[in-house]
Amino acid sequence: MSFNVSTSDRVELNDVTGEVIAEIDKSGVKEGIALVYVPHATAALIINENERGLISDMTAAISDLIPRDRRYEHDRIDDNAWSHLTSAVIGCSLTIPITGGRLECGTWQNIFLVELDGPRRRKVIVKVIGA
Amino acid sequence: MSFNVSTSDRVELNDVTGEVIAEIDKSGVKEGIALVYVPHATAALIINENERGLISDMTAAISDLIPRDRRYEHDRIDDNAWSHLTSAVIGCSLTIPITGGRLECGTWQNIFLVELDGPRRRKVIVKVIGA
Amino acid sequence: MSFNVSTSDRVELNDVTGEVIAEIDKSGVKEGIALVYVPHATAALIINENERGLISDMTAAISDLIPRDRRYEHDRIDDNAWSHLTSAVIGCSLTIPITGGRLECGTWQNIFLVELDGPRRRKVIVKVIGA
C-alpha cells in the first residue's frame, strides 16, 4: 500500500496524516502497528503539530540541522549532498501504534513528509501489521 | 498497553526500561517486536546508557541540538517551539526486538522518555507484535 | 537472527544491506516488516546512498552533529561520551517494509551500520515480522 505526494518547493513539509489513516482503514487492522516509509534518500518523515507558524519553524530548523555551505564531495556528482545528509539524520521510517482500528497518535501529532530536494513526486509506503 | 510518567523538570530524561519490560511480560509474546511510542509533540524517546554523568551529558546535548534563542513563529501562540522542534528531530517512536520473551537490548541500552516541555504527566504506549 | 560486523576506524559507515537481505531471504517472509537493530550504545544505523563521496560527507556530518570538544561528565568514566550522545540522537533502530519477499527500499537507499567508537566487533539484529 502506498500513495504519492507532489512537492512544490526545495524544502517543504507535507501533512500526510489523512492519507496514512485511509490506508489503515483499508487494511482493516484493529490492533497492531503502521510502518510509514519513504523510499527516497533525499526525503524524510517527522511527527509533530500542524500549526502554520510551527511548520515554518520546523522548515527552518530542518534547513539548519546540517550545514549547507560546506564543500561536500557528493556535490561533484549531484548537487544535493545536503539533502542526503539531512535525510540520513532525520530518517525515512516511522512506526505508529494502531489501537481500536485507529492511529494512536496524540492530539498534536501529525505525520509530515519532509521534502529535502524538491520539487519532486514522492512515494509514501504504509505497511500495516496486526489483526 | 500504556503507562504514565510524571516529569519534574523542563528538560529531563526518565528511564522507563523497567515499565516497558513489564508490558512485554504481560503480553506473553516470545518472538517479535516492541513498539514504544509517546503520543506527545513535545517529548521524545532515546536509547542509551543509564550512567549519571552521561544522563547529564545527554540532557545538555539534547538541549543544544536545536537553537533555543531564535525568534520562532510558534512562540507567538505557545511558548514552546523549541520543545516541538527537538521532539520532531529526535522522534517519538522506538522499535526493539523481543527474543525468547525478552527485550533484545544491549547491556548498555536503556530506554529513556525525553521530557522537553515539563513538568508534565506523559503517556508511554507499548505495542507488542509477535507470537 | 543476527550477524556481526568488524569495524576498522573510530567513526565509520559499513554497508550491511546485503546481510540484511540475506536474513530476510532466510525468514521466508513475503509481506511484512524488517526491524534492523544494533544492541550498542556507541553505534547507530542510517539509510542512504552508497556513493563514495557521500559516504565521506556522511562520516563528516555525523562527526560534527554533536560537539566533540566539550567537557563531558561521562568522559571521567569512559572517554567516549561523544559516541554515546551521537548514538542516542541518530538512533539504533530502523524499520523497513518487505513486499513480495523483498526489502521495499528505494534505488538509492542502502542500510549502514554507523560505528562511533571503533574499531570494534558489532552485532546487527534483524527481526522479520509478517507472513
Lookup: cell for C46? 542510517
Smallest CA–CA distance from C36 into chain A, residue: A93
| pLDDT tens column, C74-90 | 999 999 999 999 999 99
Nearest to B84 among A33, A49, A130 (CB): A49
Q: Output the pLDDT for position B70.
A: 94
Q: Output the pLDDT for position C79.
A: 92
**B16: CATH:** 2.60.120.460
Average pLDDT over every residue of C87-111:
97
In one-letter notation, the amino acid at residue A18 is G
Q: Output the pLDDT for position B47.
A: 98
Residues of C with CB under 8 A from a CB of A: 32-33, 46-49, 51-54, 56-58, 60-62, 64-65, 90-91, 94-99, 104-106, 108-109, 129-130
Q: Output the pLDDT for position C109.
A: 98
Largest CA distance in chain A: 50
For residue A46, which residues of chain B lie inside 8 Å, CB to CB?
88-89, 91
Mean of all residue pLDDT scores within chain C: 97
For residue A64, which residues of chain B lie inside 8 Å, CB to CB?
67
CA distance C120 to C5: 8
CA distance B109 to B36: 14
Nearest to C97 among A75, A88, A125 (CB): A125
| pLDDT tens column, B88-117 | 999 999 999 999 999 999 999 999 999 999
User: Which are the contacts of A33, defined by CB distance < 8 A and separation ≥ 6?
Assistant: A95, A96, A97, A98, A128, A129, A130, B35, B127, B129
Q: Output the pLDDT for position A56.
A: 98
| pLDDT tens column, C16-53 | 999 999 999 999 999 999 999 999 999 999 999 999 99
Q: Per-residue confidence at A20, pLDDT binned at 50, 70, 90?
A: very high
Nearest to C93 among B52, B95, B98 (CB): B95
Residue B90 main-chain phi, psi, to 5 deg: -75, -40
CB contact under 8 A, B84 and A53: no
* Chains in contact with chain B (at least 3 beta-carbon pairs closer than 8 A): A, C
| pLDDT tens column, B58-67 | 999 999 999 9
Query: What Cα–Cα distance (Å) separates residue C80 from each residue in A129, C7, C56, C70, C75?
Result: 38, 16, 22, 12, 6
pTM given for the model: 0.98
Q: Output the pLDDT for position A3.
A: 98
B130: left (phi over 0), alpha (psi -120 to 50) or beta: left
**Bond from prior residue into C119 cis (ω within 30 degrees of 0):** yes
CB contact under 8 A, A47 and B92: yes
Q: Output the pLDDT for position A19.
A: 98
pLDDT over 90 for what percent of chain B?
98
| pLDDT tens column, A79-128 | 999 999 999 999 999 999 999 999 999 999 999 999 999 999 999 999 99
For residue B121, the SS3 value is strand
Using alpha carbons, select from A13, A15, A83, C128 the residue that is nearest to residue A3: A15
CB contact under 8 A, B89 and A90: yes
Mutate to test the interface with A, among C31, C57, C96, C107 (most CBs of A within 10 A): C57
Distance (Å) from the alpha carbon of A29 to chain B's nearest alpha carbon: 13
Provide the ipTM.
Answer: 0.97
The boundaries of the domain holding residue C99 are 2-130
Considering its fold, how many domains does chain A have in total?
1
DSSP A89: H
